[in-house]
Amino acid sequence: MIVIAKKIFIVLAIFFLLILVVGVGTIFYFRWAINKPFANNQVKNIVEIKAGATTREIAADLFGRGQIRSEFLFLVLARLDGSSLQAGVYRISPNASLFNVYDLISSGEATHTKVTIPEGYRLEQIAQVLAEKELVSYPKFLEVAEKVEGKLFPDTYFIPLGSKDEDIAKMMQNNYDERTKGLAVAAEDLIVASIVEREAVRDEERALIAGVFKNRLAKGMKLEADPTLQYARDIQDITKLSASKEVKYKFWQSITLKEHAGIDSPYNTYLYAGLPPGPICNPGLASIKATVDYDKHDYLYFLHKDGEIYPSKTEAEHNQTKARVLGVRTKS
């Protein structure tokens, strides 16, 4: 009986010892795994945690981006810690461990702000967007970025907190340089591309519109482009407002026939032939490419109706199209 009891005791001791070893080993492995730097996270180190995302969704996204070595370990750590993961944009160090990533996101100390600049925005609109995010001083950004209108590339940016106005303008200009690398974009092309950006409704018509403007320039004709007149009118309007703070103004409102001759500005292409002095907005890559490699055709006019474009080769044909499509009768 004593012998049997000893055997049972030995078996139980070994069993509990194994449990202890496995338990201690698991703890050491867990601590090692969450604290060991993960080399794969050198690929993408800017991460956005979206509001409303679950811990499981965040873990899956981080794993998919190569920022953590294990979804499971991340979820275990989150369960043990109990902290809430905070929405925001974070810069993850190249040598960050899983614990470092978790600690950063749970701290809520975001390092970047996400900003999207739409295609076709002019400088003042971009300044409004950045000022609303409290990233720039509205008048200061206008001052530092005025000379690069057209090259403030429209894109989604992750801007480091504390960036200077000139740093943000330079970031956008550098993006323009990188995205247009290999394209021979002349100064004149950028101006035309900015007009195309404001005129085009669909991507497939950009090269056609660019061709129309190129043809008119070649013939010494006035461009007669509404967006240039909108730009001119908006300049006059916003200069009347206070420049000491962010200007609340609705840009690109419709033009009236009265304004065609009533706004004296070098940007008014109804009054002055040739190109305006500079870009009227910041065009996207599609408009820039379409202008550099524009369609070769004989069209000199176009109009839009319900998302469709109607090009014409002569003024008479254009007037006929307006009468047919728009119901507008024009004197011959």
Give the CATH number, domain containing residue 61.
3.30.1490.480
Beta carbons of 287 and 201 less than 8 angstroms apart: no
For residues 247-266, give the mean pLDDT. Answer: 87
- Say whether both 143 and 246 belong to one domain: yes
Residue with tokens 């956005």: 48
Residue 188 lies in a domain: yes
Same domain, 148 and 246: yes
pLDDT band at 33 (very low <50, low <70, confident <90, very high): very low
Q: Tokens for 74?
A: 């991340």
> Within a domain: residue 308?
no
* Domain match, 190 and 88 both: no
Tokens of 290: 């379409």
Whether residues 86 and 146 fall in one domain: no
Whether 314 maps to a domain, the answer reads no
* Lowest mean pLDDT across 39-48, 183-192, 249-258: 39-48
DSSP annotation of 271 reads T
Contact 281, 120 (CB under 8 A): yes
pLDDT digits over 268-294, tens only?
A: 999 999 999 999 999 999 999 999 999
Tally of structural domains, the chain: 3
25 with 78, same domain: the answer is no
Q: Domain for residue 318, yes or no?
A: no
CA 178 to chain centre: 15
- Kindly state whether residues 13 and 48 are assigned to the same domain: no
Domain assignment present for residue 214? The answer is yes
pLDDT at 249: 83
> What pLDDT, on the 0 to 100 scale, is given for residue 278?
97
* Domain that includes residue 220, residue range: 123-297
pLDDT of residue 242: 61
In a domain, 316, yes or no: no
Residues 237, 182, single domain; the answer is yes
Verify that 90 and 66 share a domain, yes or no: yes
In the predicted structure, residue 1 carries a pLDDT above the cut 90 = no
The answer on 273 and 239 residing in a single domain is yes
**Four-point Cα dihedral 50, 52, 55, 61, nearest 10:** -30
In this structure, the answer to whether residues 105 and 135 fall within a common structural domain is no
Q: Does residue 177 share a domain with residue 155?
A: yes
At residue 136, what are phi and psi to the nearest 5 degrees?
-140, 165
Are 130 and 273 part of one and the same domain? yes
Q: What is the pTM of this model?
A: 0.80
